[in-house]
A and B are shown apart, each in its own frame.
Chain A
Amino acid sequence: MRVIALTKRILQQLIRDKRTLGLLIFAPILVLTMLHLVFNGDDYVPKVGLVEIPEAIVDQIDTTDAEVTIYTNENDAQQAVHSEEIDGYILLDDATTSAVFLEGSDPSVNSATLRWIQSAFSSLQQGESAAQFEIDYLYGSSDMGPFDYFGPVLLGFFVFFFVFIIAGVSFIRERTTGTLERLLSTPLRKWEIVTGYVLGFGIFTIIQSTIIAWYAIYVLNMMMVGAFIYVLLITLSLALTALTLGILISSFANNELQMIQFIPIVVIPQIFFSGLFNLETISDWLSWVGPFTPLYYAADALRDVMVRGHGFGEIFVNLIILFGFSLLFMLLNGLALRKYRKI
């Protein structure tokens, strides 16, 4: 019953604090929307120069996906690259050898330019004899964009980030306003305090993750081939670890600002191991950290469900590990509270 009283109070406080409530729900939505627009914007149209290319060939090139300029000598083309009028040019010495010169300062522009040159000239050189590959995908499809791949990770990350901050800050506030001491002067047990917090924020988190996941999947059209309920289950267990970790970390901070200082240490590094970057290319010096970060498991499970369409069988190990993290953090929280009351 005392736990319920605590849960109720936390929810009352959250509802009263409209700004925090808004931050928890609309900030992730806003950031996800912006990322969606950033990643799924128009494809880059490379500006390519053609130098000394016979007109017969030029006529055959498909110039729809690029801005093509024709130069009669290489010096003019080079000038144009220097003044950034074009991203690169192609020089055809004879029918077989060709040279490509790129401006080169932006890798994404480079690859877009090269991709266009490759496709334009491959059809040209091989003509009808070119072997046509039929490409099939085990998971995903050719329409899958970077947002679809990053999306599950970002979804997990934002839920983690915001729950971590709010739980930590509200526990710090409980300490600095003296209400924690007041609570501990009642016969409330330490595990009851931790449980009350978990339930109070837990209920709120269910609502929050549902809204955010729903928005990402059904409004932003993030790729989603699995079941929505699993996405909820994963974000919820991730939120639980964020909550218990936030409360735990808050006992090492004396005020809100110090809590914020933990973000680059505790939260940001988790992104590196969540699959946003290829795990196999991370230096061995660092890659062992991955399995100790909750986001690693949540992102993996989210991608399993959203991109690969897997079900409970594939994600339940990750879920158990996430719950294990929460349980561990809860126990440590109980110990940390000993600082304020011995029994």
Chain B
Amino acid sequence: MRNQNSCISIQHVFKQFGKHEVLKDINLEIEEGEIFGLLGPSGAGKSTLIKELAGLDVPTSGENYIFGERMPTLKLMERIGYMAQADALYEELSANENLQFFASLYGLKGKKKKERINEVMQLVDLSDHLNKPVSNYSGGMKRRLSLAIALLHEPEMLILDEPTVGIDPVLRKSIWDAFYDLNRKGTTIIVTTHVMDEAEKCDRLGLMRDGELIAVGTAEALRNETNSDTIEQAFLVYGGATS
């Protein structure tokens, strides 16, 4: 019953932490080569869902399929680039040492490793700060370094939890250009975001609230369906807030 083209298939996924139900019957198909945005207020369950896709957690019930295989497996995790909501970096080490370390974990070595490190650092505009200790980085720089690490091993799928928080509009635009670039080469991208203008840039959007996926569709479709001018308004309508 899985869609042929879909590279992510979420089927009846529930997640409970103790008594607290964080995901409630999530069903979603994401196609190969899509940029899919997950939108929702704080605490809606976006990170929880995304962690399951990255293989870090398992649903209480229901299944997640990636590339037709049930998550989690180490083989699949090798094909995914994940960036967590919180920067997970070794602050004592330099950016280069961080990159070297994660590159080795993904099996990159020698010249290829060096090349990739230079490429991703250029992409996030940090080439000049390669040998700085991460503890001397600013918040936005750390965010960009985390992104660079997620891109290192050229994954087929990118799962990014609020990748552009704390990054200025100019840089944000250049990062999105990079996303489009990767996307054109066939990378599927899933991002969570709070920023509405970013939502407009996604091929399709999923709106989440209180653990439920309340609407899925293109930005345009969502706006039309709710007779709103902006995604923000559409979001409020779906969310039950009357304007």
Contact = CB atoms under 8 A, between A and B. Distances in A.
Interface of A: 1-2, 4-6, 8-9, 12-13, 16-17, 177-179, 181-189, 340-343
Residue of B57, B86, B88, B100 ringed by the most chain A CB atoms within 10 A: B88
Contacts, number: 78
Contact of B90 (A9, A188, A189): A9
Contacts of A188: 105
A343 B74 contact: yes
B123 interface: no
Contacts of A342: 57-58, 72
Contacts of B100: 5
Given A12-B93, A184-B56, A187-B78, A178 B84 contact: yes
Interface of B: 54-58, 72-75, 77-78, 80, 82, 84, 86-93, 97, 100-102, 104-107, 109, 133
Contact of A341 (B55, B87, B89, B102): B55
A106 B23 CA distance: 69
A179 B82 contact: no
Contacts of B82: 182, 185
Nearest to B80: A185
A31 B57 CA distance: 46
A189 B93 contact: no
B76 to A, nearest CB: 9
B93 A2 contact: no
Given A178-B84, A185-B82, A17 B92 contact: yes
B88 A186 contact: no
B78 A9 contact: no
16 contacts: A5-B101, A5-B104, A8-B101, A12-B93, A12-B97, A13-B93, A16-B93, A16-B133, A177-B91, A182-B82, A182-B84, A185-B80, A185-B84, A186-B77, A340-B56, A343-B74
A331 to B, nearest CB: 19
A48 B88 CA distance: 69
A178 B88 contact: yes
B92 A185 contact: no
A183 B90 contact: no
A9 B93 contact: yes
Contact of B55 (A9, A13, A343): A343
Contacts of A5: 100-101, 104-105
Given A17-B92, A178-B88, A181-B84, A186 B97 contact: no
Nearest to A4: B104
A343 B86 contact: no
Given A1-B104, A178-B87, A179-B90, A185 B97 contact: no
Contacts of B107: 1-2
Contact of A189 (B74, B88, B102, B109): B74
A172 to B, nearest CB: 14
B74 A187 contact: yes
Closest 8 CB pairs of A and B: A5-B104, A182-B88, A178-B88, A16-B92, A185-B82, A187-B78, A179-B88, A187-B74
A183 B84 CA distance: 11
Contacts of B74: 187, 189, 343
A13 B94 CA distance: 10
Nearest to A178: B88
B106 A187 contact: yes
Nearest to A196: B105
A9 B98 CA distance: 8
A341 B93 contact: no
Given A187-B78, A341-B72, A343-B74, A2 B88 contact: no
Nearest to A16: B92
A341 B75 CA distance: 14
A5 B58 CA distance: 28
B93 A177 contact: no
Contacts of B106: 186-187
Given A2-B104, A186-B105, A181 B93 contact: no
Nearest to B159: A185
A275 B234 CA distance: 74
A183 B105 contact: yes
A4 B105 CA distance: 9
Contacts of A8: 101
B175 to A, nearest CB: 19
Contacts of B72: 341-343
Nearest to A183: B105
A343 B76 CA distance: 12
B64 to A, nearest CB: 12
Contacts of A183: 105
